[in-house]
Structure 1
Amino acid sequence: MYVFVEVLTVILVASAMAMALAHALELPGKMRLGRQEYFVVQRIYYPGFTIGGGIAEVGGIVATFALMLTSSGSVELWLIACALTGLLIMQLVFWFMTQPINKHWLQEVELTAPAKRFFATQGSDGDALVPTQEWTAFRNRWELSHVLRAVLAMLSLILLTMAIAIQGA
């Protein structure tokens, strides 16, 4: 059973990292886009990344926590705890850097009922983002948040796999 939890945890955390890394790797190309092209490209992400990233990130946190609770060694425990911390900070970056931009940008977009609830666009003021602020400032904040999330996810995956390798040795 323990091996199943290890494998599941690695798959979930690797999936979360893949989603964040995909955004980060697009950065150079997206920075060359004008406003109109950027927003056209931006809208393709929300359905898939919201569902896939949400499942992988929440599942990864839960699985990493379960793995931490069943860890048998102190070094492994600390590595897994640090991996979990990275995943939790990744969530903080999303909710405080990324999500306010998502809410702001999606206010004028027709969304499904679940998407409206998740992005909280109904009656929202975009978390008090300054509407006259240059769109590039929002873009830069959104893109930077995904670079930070990719780094945190990769670090968490490395720490997690180190813990599993040490425990298996």
Structure 2
Amino acid sequence: MTVGAVQFLAITISALALVPSGAHLAALPNKIALPQSEYFTVQAIYYGWAILGLLWLAAVIMNALLAVVVRSQKWPFWLAVAAALCFALMFAIFFLWTLPANQATNNWTTAPENWETFRWQWEYSHAANTIIEFVALCFTTLSVLSWREKGSP
């Protein structure tokens, strides 16, 4: 695979990974104050979205691969590493905050007594991941923009 192909795929997959998280963040202001029954109804729209988590995995892999193919140049390498680490950090946030909220609410079908705490945990973990994904996409793009083919100025 050529450097250009890896760069293209790293940017494209990183951008695609941002879409579902951006949707969560955009919905947050309208959802955060909903009463329990309405909130749980709205949460049902996310059934099946777990498959989109594969985009995060693909983004980690593509940005790590990008780091490997541009490793001969300091800035492109470290920017790609930073992007891959951002996507890895998202997994930590997901497993520490998002997944436990999903489990405690049986994927938003059961309301425990402290369901509002889980709502905040779920919503704001997604918000944090959206910001991290945006930063990762910026790192990926900057890596691509700062890479120079041998012999070019």
- TM-score > 0.5 by shorter chain: yes
Give the RMSD, CA atoms, in angstroms. Answer: 1.7
Task: Check conservation: 2:21, 2:130, Cα contact below 8 A.
Answer: yes
Once residues 107 and 16 of structure 2 are traced to their aligned partners in structure 1, the CA distance between those partners, rounded to angstroms, is 28
Partner of 1:98: 98
TM-score (norm 1): 0.80
Match of 1:154 among 134, 137, 140: 134
Partner of 2:147: 167
Unaligned runs of 5+ in 1: 110-130
CA deviations over 1:86-141 (Å, ceiling 9, x no partner): 111111000111001111222685xxxxxxxxxxxxxxxxxxxxx85421111001
Greater RCO (CA < 8 Å, at least 6 residues apart): 1
* Deviation at residue 32 of structure 1 after TM alignment: 3.0
Partner of 2:86: 86
Partner of 2:120: 140
Secondary structure of the residue that 2:33 maps to in structure 1?
coil
TM-score (norm 2): 0.88
Once residues 103 and 141 of structure 2 are traced to their aligned partners in structure 1, the CA distance between those partners, rounded to angstroms, is 35
* Deviation at residue 15 of structure 1 after TM alignment: 1.2
Unaligned runs of 5+ in 2: none
Once residues 14 and 116 of structure 2 are traced to their aligned partners in structure 1, the CA distance between those partners, rounded to angstroms, is 30
Secondary structure of the residue that 2:45 maps to in structure 1?
coil
Secondary structure of the residue that 1:43 maps to in structure 2?
helix
Partner of 2:47: 46
